[in-house]
């Protein structure tokens, strides 16, 4: 087992990574504050892993909320189901919520924990690659609105992140690939050596080689933990974690939540960011093309769906990095070095938005 720490003073917390951790009650027990524990999961994950998590909780008064599955259910209405269940159960401020599932469950459970009785204990047990390498770490919680993704939420850190890598054995292939988009992101923004490693090990990751997956999760979580410790509430450098997300969130929202998976939209968005970086003279064309090749090698989309530039701009204006309507982008100065920039030339942006399959190709 690997154990990392997100350093946030008295709110610091561990990330445990390994196969079989859903049998390790000892890792979970120290983070419970009372007998009142509620596991929040969904109808897909419950039959697979709920019993194992219940077994870990032994004598506790364990309750469960089983939500419908899908990004389209990441709403305030669904979070209200959690609130109502906690109230019915008479759960008090000392209760603990456990998120068991992917990023959708993690983000909603975290938001419920941040707001139920103004804040209760919260533990993440992520079961998708995407949630293991990204969403379970760092305390961003929230829900979507029809006009914008993740537009309502709170920063609220978990007490512990428990990653059982064996849960990836049941993950559909499309979801595995979506998770690889966020893994590649860490190489592109901050870690060129990891990017080299990913190029050499992509086939192993795609065939779910256990040691390759564990390494990719450990490096990703370490990268994220370091950035979150330096800038918890995204006053500055944490924004680089959003490489590809300005384009990606526009794709997800415009296409209808759940149509393009988050990781797929981020993949195409990262190719768009590399393309724009090249057109702005920040990144060499060969490097933009290499970024595109790595993303393609994970079986991910490297071009957006056929949205008009006007549609892109309309949805991108809702981006949380935009300041009073002025767009800001995470761009690449090199593979492994991200920067955040505003004031992007509109004609260069329009070229990227309409390049389609010609992105990052001269």
Residue 170 interacts with ligand NAD (CB under 6 A): yes or no:
yes
Asked if 168 contacts 208 with a C-beta cutoff of 8 angstroms, the reply is: yes
- Name the CA dihedral angle for 119, 125, 131, 135, rounded to a multiple of 10 degrees: 20
* Dist. CA 106–CA 108, nearest whole Å: 6
In the range 124-163, which residues lie near ligand GLY by CB under 6 A?
134, 138, 140
* Dist. CA 138–CA 234, nearest whole Å: 10
Residue 71 interacts with which of ligand GLY, ligand NAD, none, CB < 5 to 8 Å by class:
ligand NAD
Which residue is it, tokens 């993949």?
267
Distances (CA, A) of 226 to 221, 241, 259, 269, 284: 8, 11, 32, 24, 28
Residue 104 interacts with ligand NAD (CB under 6 A): yes or no:
yes
Going by C-alpha positions, the residue among 69, 254, 75 that lies closest to residue 172 is 69
Q: Which residues touch 2 (CB under 8 Å, ≥6 apart)? A: 16, 17, 18, 214, 218
Q: Would you say 110 or 336 has its CB closer to ligand NAD?
A: 110
Burial of residue 72 (CB within 10 Å: 0-12, 13-18, 19+) is middle
Residue 127 interacts with ligand NAD (CB under 6 A): yes or no:
yes
Q: Let me know if 249 is a catalytic residue.
A: yes
Residue 164 interacts with ligand NAD (CB under 6 A): yes or no:
no
Q: Let me know if 242 is a catalytic residue.
A: yes
Length of the chain: 362
Residue 131 interacts with which of ligand GLY, ligand NAD, none, CB < 5 to 8 Å by class:
ligand NAD
Q: In the complex, what is the shortest distance from the CB of residue 130 to ligand NAD, in angstroms, rounded to a whole number?
A: 4
Q: In the complex, what is the shortest distance from the CB of residue 256 to ligand NAD, in angstroms, rounded to a whole number?
A: 14
Q: In the complex, what is the shortest distance from the CB of residue 7 to ligand NAD, in angstroms, rounded to a whole number?
A: 17
Q: Let me know if 262 is a catalytic residue.
A: yes
Residue 134 interacts with ligand NAD (CB under 6 A): yes or no:
yes
Residue 242 interacts with ligand GLY (CB under 6 A): yes or no:
yes
Q: Let me know if 140 is a catalytic residue.
A: yes
Interface with ligand NAD (CB under 6 A): 42, 44-45, 48, 69, 71, 74, 101-105, 107, 127-128, 130-131, 134-135, 138, 140, 150, 167, 170-171, 175, 178, 262-263
Residues known to be catalytic: 118, 140, 182, 224, 234, 238, 242, 245, 249, 262
């Amino acid at each position: 087992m690997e154990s990392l720490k997100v350093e946030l003073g008295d709110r610091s917390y561990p990330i445990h990574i390994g196969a079989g951790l859903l049998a390790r009650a000892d890792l979970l027990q120290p983070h419970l504050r009372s007998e009142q524990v509620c596991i929040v999961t969904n109808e897909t994950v419950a039959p697979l892993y709920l019993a194992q998590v219940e077994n870990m909780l032994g004598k506790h008064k364990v309750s469960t909320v089983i939500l419908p599955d899908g990004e389209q259910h990441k709403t305030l209405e669904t979070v209200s189901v959690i609130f109502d269940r906690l109230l019915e159960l008479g759960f008090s401020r000392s209760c603990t919520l456990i998120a068991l599932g992917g990023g959708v469950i993690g983000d909603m459970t975290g938001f419920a924990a941040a707001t139920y009785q103004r804040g209760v204990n919260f533990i993440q047990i992520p079961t998708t690659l995407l949630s293991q390498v990204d969403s379970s770490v760092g305390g961003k919680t929230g829900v979507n609105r029809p006009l914008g993704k993740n537009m309502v939420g709170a920063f609220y850190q978990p007490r512990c992140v428990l990653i059982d890598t064996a849960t990836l054995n049941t993950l559909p292939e499309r979801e595995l690939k979506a998770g690889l988009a966020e893994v590649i992101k860490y190489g592109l923004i901050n870690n060129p050596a990891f990017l080299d490693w990913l190029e050499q090990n992509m086939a192993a990751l795609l065939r779910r080689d256990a040691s390759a997956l564990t390494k990719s999760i450990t490096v990703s979580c370490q990268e994220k933990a370091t950035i979150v410790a330096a800038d918890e509430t995204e006053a500055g450098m944490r924004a680089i974690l959003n490489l590809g997300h300005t384009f990606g969130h526009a794709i997800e929202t415009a296409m209808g939540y759940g149509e393009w998976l988050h990781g797929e939209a981020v993949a195409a968005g990262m190719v768009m960011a590399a393309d724009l970086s090249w057109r702005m003279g920040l990144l060499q064309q060969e490097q933009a093309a290499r970024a595109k090749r790595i993303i393609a090698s994970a079986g991910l989309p490297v071009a957006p769906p056929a949205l008009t530039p006007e549609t892109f701009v309309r949805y991108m204006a809702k981006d949380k990095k935009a300041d009073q309507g002025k767009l800001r982008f995470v761009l690449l100065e090199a593979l492994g070095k991200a920067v955040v920039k505003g004031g992007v030339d509109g004609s260069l942006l329009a070229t990227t938005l309409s390049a389609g399959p010609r992105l990052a190709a001269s």
